[in-house]
């Protein structure tokens, strides 16, 4: 849905899902868990459905208000997934913008408090943006 709304982001989610799965497998996660990480990577930005278009593809630098709106997408995605058969990946989506130094969002988690699956998705997401 996000790719349909914003063609400039086309295939980003598929790439993050694929890279997440490859990283998970390389780290030795079992195949079922690596598949769940792939699904979470695929859905990591699903919460952007609840964010306005001018925030997803801005004309320039985001305003403070737009940045605040964008930072809500992991929580929106987590709520969307929580009531589904994919509820087990919801926390990974929620925390994919946390940072090891604790300066990420939405919870300011640091180090090993961040689910390893979320850390995998964060690396895959960063790599996909290169």
Residue 120 clears pLDDT 80, i.e. is over it = yes
Per-residue CA distances from 12 to 3, 22, 28, 72, 103 (Å) = 8, 15, 24, 19, 24
Name the residue among 23, 22, 16 with its Cα closest to residue 40.
Answer: 16
pLDDT in tens, 4-53: 777 767 789 999 999 999 999 999 999 999 999 999 999 999 999 999 98
Residue 111 clears pLDDT 90, i.e. is over it = yes
Entry pTM = 0.94
């Amino acid at each position: 849905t996000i790719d349909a709304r914003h063609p400039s982001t086309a295939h980003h989610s598929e790439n993050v899902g694929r890279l997440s799965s490859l990283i998970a497998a390389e780290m030795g996660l079992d195949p079922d868990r690596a598949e769940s990480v792939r699904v979470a990577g695929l859905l990591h930005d699903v919460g952007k459905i609840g964010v306005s278009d001018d925030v997803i593809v801005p004309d320039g630098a985001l305003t403070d208000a737009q940045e605040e709106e964008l930072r809500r997408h992991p929580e929106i995605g987590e709520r969307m997934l929580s009531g589904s058969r994919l509820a087990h990946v919801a926390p990974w989506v929620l925390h994919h913008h946390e940072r090891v130094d604790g300066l990420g969002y939405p919870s300011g988690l640091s180090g090993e408090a961040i689910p390893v699956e979320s850390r995998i998705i964060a690396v895959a997401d960063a790599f996909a943006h290169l």
